[in-house]
Amino acid sequence: MREVFRLAKSLVVAGLCAGAAFSAHADDKMASLKIVDGGIPASLTGVAGDVDKGRKAVVNRKQGNCLACHAVSSLDNQPFHGEVGPSLDGVSERYSDAQLRLILVDSKKVFEGSIMPSFYRTGGYQRVAKKFDGKTILSAQQVEDVIAFLKAQ
C-alpha cells in the first residue's frame, strides 16, 4: 500500500515538474524586454500612460491590488491600506520611470525574493492556476498607466 502511495506521489511530483517546465517555456512576455542598469527604459507600448486608468488598476483587487500592501495618501477615500510594503507617496523621486517599470514588470529583479507580485510575467516563479497561464496580471498598457499614476503621487 505504501509503495502505491509512494508511486502516486512521485507521479504527482513528475507532473508538477513537467508543468513547471511547460510554464517556464511558455512565451514569457518578460523575456523579450531589455533591462538596462536596473530598469526597463523603453515603454512597453509606446503609448503614454493614463493617470486615471492607472489609479483604477492600482485600486482594483483583481488587477494591481497595490493597497493590499502599500499606502497611497491620494487614495485616502479607499478603505484599506497595507503596510507590508513602503508608502508609494513620492515614489517617483526615489525611482526613475525605467526602474518603476522593472519593479512592476518583475519586482524580484529589483528586490530579491520579494513577495510583491510580478505584474507582467507569464512564466517562471510561481505556478499559477490554469486560467491564468500565459496571462499577465496587468496588461502592457496598464503597466504604463500605473507608472503615470505613480509619478503623480
Summarize as ranges the residues that interact with ligand HEC (CB under 6 A): 58, 64-66, 68-70, 84-86, 88, 91, 94, 100, 103-104, 111, 114-117, 119, 146, 150
- Whichever of 12 and 105 has its CB closer to ligand HEC, that residue is 105
Beta carbon of residue 80, minimum distance to ligand HEC (angstroms, whole number): 12
- Whichever of 30 and 104 has its CB closer to ligand HEC, that residue is 104
How buried is 58 (Cβ within 10 angstroms: 0-12 exposed, 13-18 middle, 19+ buried)? buried
Helix/strand/coil percentages in the chain, nearest 5: 50, 0, 50
Beta carbon of residue 3, minimum distance to ligand HEC (angstroms, whole number): 41
Beta carbon of residue 22, minimum distance to ligand HEC (angstroms, whole number): 26
| CA 101 – CA 21 distance, rounded (Å) | 27
How far, CA to CA in Å, does 115 sit from each of 16, 58, 59? 22, 17, 18
- Whichever of 22 and 111 has its CB closer to ligand HEC, that residue is 111
